[in-house]
Chain A
Amino acid sequence: MDTLSLPSPSYAFGFHSADVHAYKSKKGLSQAIVEDIAFQKQEPSWMRMFRLRSFDVFMKKSMPGWGPSLSKLTFNDFYYYLKPIESQAATWEKLPKDIKETYDKIGIPEMEKKFLSGVSAQYESEVVYKSVQKTLTKKGVIFLDMDSAVHKYPELVRKYFGTVIPPGDNKFAALNSSVWSGGSFIYVPKGVKVELPLQAYFRINAAHMGQFERTLIIADEGSFVHYAEGCTAPIYSTDSLHSAVVEVIVKKGARVRYTTVQNWSTNVYNLVTKRAWVEEEGTMEWVDGNLGSKLTMKYPSMYLVGRKARGQVLSIAYAGAGQIQDAGAKAVHVASETTSEIISKSICRSGGRTSYRGLVKMLHGAKDAKSRVVCDALIIDDLSRSDTYPTMDIQENSGSMEHEATVSKISDEQLLYLTSRGIRGGEAQSMIANGFIEPIVKELPLEYAVELNRLIGLQMQGSVG
């Protein structure tokens, strides 16, 4: 059985429940495991072939030659597929007790009561609970877990799957393409606006368990959808690997907002590829919060391929002891009059390390493209480190680009002012830190914003004796 280390007191969601897996693949990664995953899921042959092709690519690709070290990552140390219960539960009541308990601690039922338009909660590798409101179905919106979508909507999935992020993109995209499991599939028909955010909750539960969810969002012409995901994971003593692939297709005049709050426990490698393809007058917005994990490498990207396409990334990163948050964004301007905006805020303390790594590229012919990048970093103590590695590649002479970055500590004047008002050091620091990330937090759905403020408060107040 798995060994369990004591959760640190500051990690609110560091509980775990006993393993109840109906099926667990062998440890490690091989062609046989990939074949077995396809067999267990009874997938059509095109998907099986896609997995096998991707596995070949994965074996051939080398590890990224830049960024934080991944030398401690051994691919054969993980389980690549687990199926928690035999089939999907249609209602909340039918879910197994311990799974329900896990969700209760994150607070899913209350939220659903409030205003969730659809919940698709991922426990381990497969979605075990989902409820899509009737109104969504009536409008023709498809909100499903990816596994079911492969069976129910094979034409749609086959047409778009792996088109924005092909397996050959990078080693981890290839890994995900060969062993993916779970994730969400969303299709919004022409002109349909989904008013409430669609949400999915993710959890990793078994030690050594890799999560490879695969999300595909297609927003047809003139539609709007907001997809929100939040991740929390129990603490284990061995490293876990999370490597998701998220593909978003924004058609003409559509708008998609994708919100993530990532709070994996500090033993998780979080290596994610997220990319959006934005057509004429479409808008893509990534709101990305990275609080947890041991090492996160995540650079949400947008390819602005249609005239007047727009992209925005709002990113917050927090790194505490032993954590590296290597986050950033990528904007590639292909068409004319495209605009992008990237705003990144990072906080590091207790030896944590935050890096902004980004790319703005304007190809020749992207007439009058505009881009603006702002990165602000806060370093709380002298054990921590903050880096900024932006690249701006401008091949279009009518393009216009601005980048600015600042790194500083919490100013003594601000602290003195607050302490003179009777606010204690730790509390004052957390107020200032929360104020620093406020411009992005206010873009989050309410429950995420509340949780984020609470988490920052918790982390910061622990820092001062």
Chain B
Amino acid sequence: MEKKAKYLIINTPGKKKTYVVSEKETLRLVFFSTCSFDLDITLTGRLSRADVVGLVVPKPHTDIVVRTVQKHADTNTTSTLLVKSVVPDGTRVTFEGTVRIEKQASGSDAYQRNETMLLGDTAHIRTTPILEILNNDVKCTHGATAKPIPENELLYLESRGISRKQAHEMIVRGFIDNVVLQFPDLKMQKSMYNDIHLI
């Protein structure tokens, strides 16, 4: 049944990560990526489930592509995916997330969400959340947001005597922590904050 989560830290582009989840199994995946990345999950057995959370932060001056696929190939399968991106100045993230419910996969429940925080004047996000639904007995939802750091939140923190730079960091940290804190290893967490220059 329930398995321990898998943790992925991706710092160099590699080949596609493929996972096949069979009957009644659950895949839990937490990832952090600073480069292009391909993730392919297929739910092949009934009552199988996949829960994915990930954080994407491109290295300075890079243009990266993150692709995810949640394929439901059997009945009563469930998948959830949350990808957060922090896009610094001078970088670009392209996110392509697909949820596909095959004809035979009745009773499927799929969720996909992509949240992006744009930092800096020339940050660029291109997000394409795709749904392909071939069965009617399903529940599928996806959402995507892209937002700057809210000026009013910065102001609030500044009025409490926190410097703008610090306030900035606090807000970004608040945005990424629900992914970062899922990594059990403190060293891992530290290196992630490092990558986002939050330390």
Contacts and interface: CB of A to CB of B under 8 A. Distances in A.
Nearest to B117: A397
Nearest to B143: A404
Contacts of A386: 131, 133
Contact of B103 (A382, A387, A401, A406): A382
Given A382-B103, A400-B148, A405 B129 contact: yes
The 3 closest A-B pairs by CB, nearest first: A379-B136, A397-B118, A388-B131
A32 B121 CA distance: 53
B176 to A, nearest CB: 17
A408 B146 CA distance: 25
B146 A399 contact: yes
A385 interface: yes
A402 B140 CA distance: 17
Interface in A268-297: none
Interface of A is mostly: strand
B143 A403 contact: yes
A406 B122 CA distance: 32
B15 to A, nearest CB: 26
A402 B145 contact: yes
Contacts of A384: 136
Contacts of A407: 131, 133, 138-141
B128 A402 contact: no
Given A389-B128, A389-B130, A391-B126, A401 B144 contact: yes
A382 B126 contact: no
Given A387-B133, A400-B148, A408 B138 contact: yes
Contact of B142 (A385, A395, A398, A405): A405
A402 B144 contact: yes
A163 to B, nearest CB: 28
A393 B128 CA distance: 9
Q: How large is the interface on A (under 10, 10 to 19, 20 to 34, 35 or more residues)?
A: 20 to 34
A53 interface: no
B89 to A, nearest CB: 8
Contacts of B126: 391-394
A405 B141 contact: yes
B42 interface: no
Contact of B143 (A387, A393, A400, A402): A402
Nearest to B92: A395
B130 A388 contact: yes
Contacts of A392: 125-128, 144, 146
B39 interface: no
Contacts of A393: 124-126
B164 to A, nearest CB: 16
Contacts of B129: 388, 390, 403, 405
B122 A401 contact: no
Given A392-B126, A393-B126, A403-B145, A387 B132 contact: yes
A385 B134 contact: yes
Interface in A392-441: 392-395, 397-409
B34 to A, nearest CB: 20
B114 to A, nearest CB: 9
Contact of A380 (B134, B136, B144): B136
Given A397-B119, A399-B118, 17 more contacts: A380-B136, A386-B131, A388-B129, A390-B144, A391-B127, A391-B128, A392-B146, A393-B125, A394-B146, A397-B118, A397-B148, A401-B144, A403-B127, A403-B144, A404-B142, A404-B144, A409-B136
Interface in B137-182: 137-148
Contacts of B128: 389-392
Given A379-B133, A382-B135, A394 B124 contact: yes
Contacts of A381: 136
A401 B129 CA distance: 13
A24 to B, nearest CB: 43
Contacts of B139: 406-408
A364 interface: yes
Interface string B55-67: 0000000000000
Nearest to B128: A391
Contacts of B135: 379, 382
A225 interface: no
A377 interface: yes
A382 B103 CA distance: 8
Nearest to A391: B128
A403 B148 CA distance: 15
Most interface-central of A398, A407, A409 (chain B CB within 10 A) = A407
Contacts of A403: 127, 129, 142-145
